[in-house]
Amino acid sequence: MRYLVTGCAGFIGSTVAGMLLNQEHEVVGIDNLNDAYDVRLKEWRLGQLQGRQNFQFKRLDIADRAALQDSISKMQASDPKNPLEAIVNFAARAGVRQSVEDPWTYYQTNVIGTLNLLEACKDFGIAKFTQASTSSVYGSRVRPNELSEPARPHKLNEPFLEEDSTDRPLSPYAASKKAAEVLCHSYHHLYGLDLTVFRFFTVYGPAGRPDMSVFRFIKWIDSGKPVSVYGDGLQERDFTYVDDIARGVVAASKLSGFNVINLGGARPVQLIEMIRMVEGLLGKKANLSYSPADPTDVTATWADISKAHRLLSWSPQTPLEVGLASTVEWYQQNQEWAQHTAT
C-alpha cells in the first residue's frame, strides 16, 4: 500500500513510518518540524527515514488547508496507478500542561488539521484513515450511566474501557483530541471511510519526547539535576513501548468501519517506581524535588486491551524493564546532544 503518514518526524509517527517501510509499503511522510520541543530530536528521527527506499518527505503543516489539498492532489495525479490508499495521522500538538498556556495552537493543529485531512480523504478517494488519540480523553472517568452524577474517583482495580465516557477531559489538549475523535466518526458516517481511532497510553522508548516523564527522569538522574515530581509520586501510568504501539497501528490496515481501540501496556506503574528503575539502570541516585499536584493530572491510567486483542490479535510484547533499558541505552549513545534538549 501507499501511505501518507503525518507527523513523520514525531516519536510515534517516525516509528510507524519505519515499520511500514520494513514491510515494503510506500510512505509519503509530512511534518512541519515545528519547535514545540527540541527540533534536534525530530531531525534525528527523520534522519533514520530519509534515504530509505520507498520513502518521500514533504515539509507541510496540516493546518494549512490550501497547501495540504494542493500537495495531496499532486501526489494522486503523479502516480494514478498507485494512489494514496491510507492516511495515518500523528501530526499533533501534544502535552497536557502546555495546552493550558496556549490552547489555540492545540486546536489549530489537533482539530482543524484533522478536519483538513478528513476532507482530503473525501475529496481524493482515500478510503482508510487512522487517527492517533490519547488516554487523556478519559479524564475523570465516569461511565455513561453516571453522567448525571458527580465524577467518581478512579478505582485502581478497573482498567479504562473504550466504552467509558470521555465527556469530562481535564485539559485543552485532551479536549482537542476528543474533538478530533468526534470529527472522525462524523466522516465515517457521512462518507463511509474506514476509520480507526487509537487511544495511546503513556508511550515511551528511544528518541522519545523530551517533555514526557521517562525522558525527563533519565536526563535529570543522569545529570544529577533535581527530579521534579508532581504530587506524591504515587500516580500510576500504563507505560507502553513505542514499537508495540507501532505494531498495533500498522495492523489496523485490515479493519473496516469505525473503531476506537486502546493500546496500552496493561501494567500500571507508580511514577516513583519508574524513577527507582531508572536509578538502577543508570547506577545513580535521584534527587527528588516535590511540587503540588497538577490539576490536569489524573490519578492513574490503565488500558483494557481486550478489544485490541480481539480485533488485531495485539498485545504488548516489550516488558517495561526491557523497553526502559533500551531507552536508557539510546540516551547514553546520544548523550552528547540529548543532554542539552529542553525538558
* pLDDT given for residue 145 in this prediction: 53
191 is catalytic: no
Residue 196, strand partner residues: 130, 259
Q: What is the pLDDT of residues 8-59, one digit of tens each?
A: 999 999 999 999 999 999 999 999 999 989 999 999 999 999 999 999 999 9
Spatial CA neighbour of 199 closest among 252, 150, 157, 236 = 252
- Specify which of 66-75, 156-165, 229-238 reaches the highest per-range mean pLDDT: 66-75
Active-site pick, 173, 187, 204, 241 = 173
Entry pTM: 0.93
Residue 133, classed as helix, strand or coil, is: strand
Q: Are strands 287-291 and 226-230 parallel, antiparallel or unpaired?
A: parallel
pLDDT band at 96 (very low <50, low <70, confident <90, very high): confident
The rounded distance, in Å, linking the Cα atoms of 1 and 13 is: 17
Domain boundaries of the chain, sorted by first residue = 2-204+241-266+302-317
pLDDT band at 141 (very low <50, low <70, confident <90, very high): low
The rounded distance, in Å, linking the Cα atoms of 45 and 65 is: 26
pLDDT band at 298 (very low <50, low <70, confident <90, very high): confident
* pLDDT given for residue 150 in this prediction: 47
Spatial CA neighbour of 33 closest among 62, 4, 54 = 62
Q: Are strands 86-89 and 203-204 parallel, antiparallel or unpaired?
A: unpaired
Q: What is the pLDDT of residues 165-222, one digit of tens each?
A: 888 888 999 999 999 999 999 999 999 999 999 999 999 999 999 999 999 999 999 9
Residue 137, classed as helix, strand or coil, is: helix
- C-alpha cell of 126? 482515500
Q: What is the pLDDT of residues 98-135, one digit of tens each?
A: 889 999 999 999 999 999 999 999 999 999 999 999 99
CATH number assigned to the domain with residue range 2-204+241-266+302-317, chosen from the 4 options 3.20.20.140, 3.40.50.720, 1.10.357.10, 3.40.50.360: 3.40.50.720
Spatial CA neighbour of 162 closest among 28, 20, 304, 63 = 304
Pinpoint the alpha helices (H) of the chain. Answer: 11-22, 39-49, 65-78, 96-101, 103-107, 114-124, 172-191, 213-223, 242-251, 271-282, 306-312, 320-333, 335-338
**Close Cβ partners of 222 (under 8 Å, ≥ 6 residues apart):** 282, 284, 331, 332, 335, 339
* pLDDT given for residue 151 in this prediction: 46
Whether residue 225 has pLDDT greater than 60: yes
Transcribe 98-125 into DSSP letters: HHHH-HHHHHIIIIIIHHHHHHHHHHHT
Question: DSSP class of residue 232?
Answer: T
The residue among 341 and 315 whose pLDDT is bigger is: 315
Whether residue 142 has pLDDT greater than 80: no
* pLDDT given for residue 153 in this prediction: 44
The rounded distance, in Å, linking the Cα atoms of 23 and 14 is: 14
- Helix count (H) and strand count (E) of the chain? 13, 13
